[in-house]
Amino acid sequence: KQEVTQIPAALSVPEGENLVLNCSFTDSAIYNLQWFRQDPGKGLTSLLLIQSSQREQTSGRLNASLDKSSGRSTLYIAASQPGDSATYLCAVSYNNNDMRFGAGTRLTVKP
């Protein structure tokens, strides 16, 4: 079964800290991987999309990396701010047209 795991489920850091969120997947035959942000009571917003042929994508203070051979992706957030507080989810699209979401990491950035 194709599973996506995000550990830890929750993370609390002081403002200004650089941090890394993890996403692991069990099948390396992926098509792409997306990172989403979800604010409480809201829908998901796509942050970064990495194609299987890419190693990383960057947008502002966010950098996402992909290592298919080890089944891992990381989302690096530089100089975290209280406004970064949200739940971050990763979703893996597989070559068999399937797409699986992780349960998310709830991030709290304390002022």
Partner 1 sequence: DAGITQSPRHKVTETGTPVTLRCHQTENHRYMYWYRQDPGHGLRLIHYSYGVKDTDKGEVSDGYSVSRSKTEDFLLTLESATSSQTSVYFCAISPAGHAFLGELFFGEGSRLTVL
Closest to 87 (Cα-Cα) out of 105, 62, 110: 105
Query: Which range binds partner 1 by CB under 8 A, 10-18, 60-68, 69-77, 86-94?
Result: 86-94
Q: How far is the CB of 67 from partner 1 (least distance, A)?
A: 20
14 binds partner 1 (CB under 8 A): no
Report, in angstroms and rounded to the nearest whole number, the Rg of the chain calculated over CA atoms.
13
Q: Give the residues across from 16 on adjacent strands.
A: none
Angle at the Cα of 22 from the Cα atoms of 88 and 38, rounded to 5 degrees: 5
Query: Which range binds partner 1 by CB under 8 A, 54-62, 63-71, 78-86, 91-99?
Result: 91-99
Q: How far is the CB of 33 from partner 1 (least distance, A)?
A: 11
Contact 76, 66 (CB under 8 A): no
Contact 6, 105 (CB under 8 A): yes
53 binds partner 1 (CB under 8 A): no
104 binds partner 1 (CB under 8 A): yes
Q: Which residues bind partner 1 (CB under 8 A)?
A: 4, 31-32, 34, 41-46, 49, 89, 91, 93-94, 97-104
